[in-house]
Structure 1
Amino acid sequence: MSRESACDDAMEVLVRQVQQRGPGWMEAFGQLVRHHEGWVRGFLRSRIRDWAAADDLAQDVFVTAFKRVKAYRGESSFEGWLRGIAVNHLRNFVRKRREQCIGGSEELQVLIDRGTEAFLGDAEESDALEALHKCLARIDGPSRELLTERYVSGKTVREISAASGRGYSALTMQLHRLRDALAACVARKLEVPEA
């Protein structure tokens, strides 16, 4: 059994515990939140300019998940189910505030948008999002740390620069290269082999 499928199985056990309101169910829900909050926050922060609002939306996602967890049937992954809730909250936010969605790279944003729409259409992980996840998994070391600090922890490039002692321009350029490399990687993974 792969590490990823073992993690998925562990998440499903926690979900069932929360659904059944068994002993320790509140702690189980807390574990689910801790496991998923980073990518939920990162997903929302990558889409709207106001990071405080994105953090509030992330909290709303988990409140909705808490209220509707009994409706989760396991037809898709719990992560996919949460992503659907996040997308719905994001759509409502954009509709109410007429917020302009943003992305680090136009090509990457198009892939994410296409992946989100595909996900919403069939309620499963889209090929584009799965490809992006695989491409991100291949990045490690300082590049991975930089992406995590910027897009998961939400630090500004100036904050990262001050903490690391690296130049602002160098970090900006590295982030630009990483976004371009991710966009190219996703595009390669989505290419359909000729018959």
Structure 2
Amino acid sequence: MSLRSLSTTCSSRWIRRWSSRGSRWWKRKVGEAARIEGLRVGESVLPRGAAADSDGDLVEAFLAGDRGAFEQLVRRHQDRVFGLCFRLLGSRQQAEEAAQEVFVKVFKNLDRFRSESRFSTWLYRVTINHARGLHSRRIRRREGDHVSVDAGFGEDSGTSRPLQLSDTAPSVEEDLISAERLGQLREELELLDPLWREILVLRDVEGLSYEDTAKALSVAPGTVKSRLHRARSELRKRMNRRAKREHERG
């Protein structure tokens, strides 16, 4: 079972629960931002029955004064933003709050979006940067709890395949993977240096291409490949060490 499958299983129920509340929180949180900006949210200037087919259409409509277009963007992307926050932060409550804050930031800064790139890629970048800030503040509050990986390594050109659980626990059958194992993998992922965790989440969990991952992280595609190789290696090492400790405890 791949890291992507494990992470999806681990967070899907929280995504469903969060999504069901989405229409309530976005109106409250984004509405607050709108009032600060002197805007009215939720009233579309598009003809009744008209539909925007792409994110770009919705962005253009919003910037032209259609505040209802933003609600459509939120509904379209809220699950993915929450899922990304959850995997980067490891806490349902923090992920809910972070997702809300991300959309408020997007609301206030959508005029900075450049249509040369996809809206979803830009949204990933906003989400990642926000999660980085939250994670840094959390680490400062919990000094000593974070296990950091030395980032000083050469950029090699090696490639590696997505992490498979069989790499870390070869004696366990895939169809017998337990909730405990899922939790262990998520814990070790959270303890990784943010540099490695971000690359794993974007490539192996979210399934972004190398190019889109590079754009989301503002790095070169070659850097994505080398970081991904190192990140997978670090996570395997952590899982192997954990499995060894558990075996020794008997």
Q: TM-score normalized by structure 1? A: 0.50
Instruction: Output the CA distance in 1 between the equivalents of 2:101 and 2:133.
Output: 12
Residue 120 of structure 1 aligns with an amino acid whose one-letter code is: L
With over 3 angstroms needed to count, the CA separation of the structure-2 counterparts of 1:65 and 1:41, relative to structure 1, is same
Matched, 1:17 2:61: yes
Matched-pair contact (CA < 8 Å) for 1:14–1:29: yes
Residue 121 of structure 1 aligns with an amino acid whose one-letter code is: S
Match of 1:47, SS state, is helix
Residue 59 of structure 2 aligns with an amino acid whose one-letter code is: V
Unaligned runs of at least 5 residues, structure 2: 1-50, 148-183, 190-195, 204-209, 226-250
Unaligned runs of at least 5 residues, structure 1: 1-6, 129-195
Residue 61 of structure 2 aligns with an amino acid whose one-letter code is: Q
| Corresponding residue pairs, total | 118
63, 72, 94: which one aligns with 1:53: 94
Any residues of structure 2 matched to 1:35-74 within 5 Å, and which? Answer: 35-74=76-115
Q: TM-score normalized by structure 2? A: 0.40
Instruction: Output the CA distance in 1 between the equivalents of 2:202 and 2:54.
Output: 29
Matched, 1:94 2:135: yes
Instruction: Output the CA distance in 2 between the equivalents of 1:83 and 1:31.
Output: 17
Instruction: Output the CA distance in 2 between the equivalents of 1:39 and 1:9.
Output: 19
**Greater relative contact order, per chain length (Cα 8 Å cut-off, separation 6+):** 2
- 1:120 corresponds in structure 2 to 217
Structural RMSD (CA): 3.7
Q: Give the CA deviation at 1:47.
A: 1.6
Residue 56 of structure 2 aligns with an amino acid whose one-letter code is: E
Percent of residue pairs identical? 30
Judging by fraction of residues, say which structure has more helix.
1
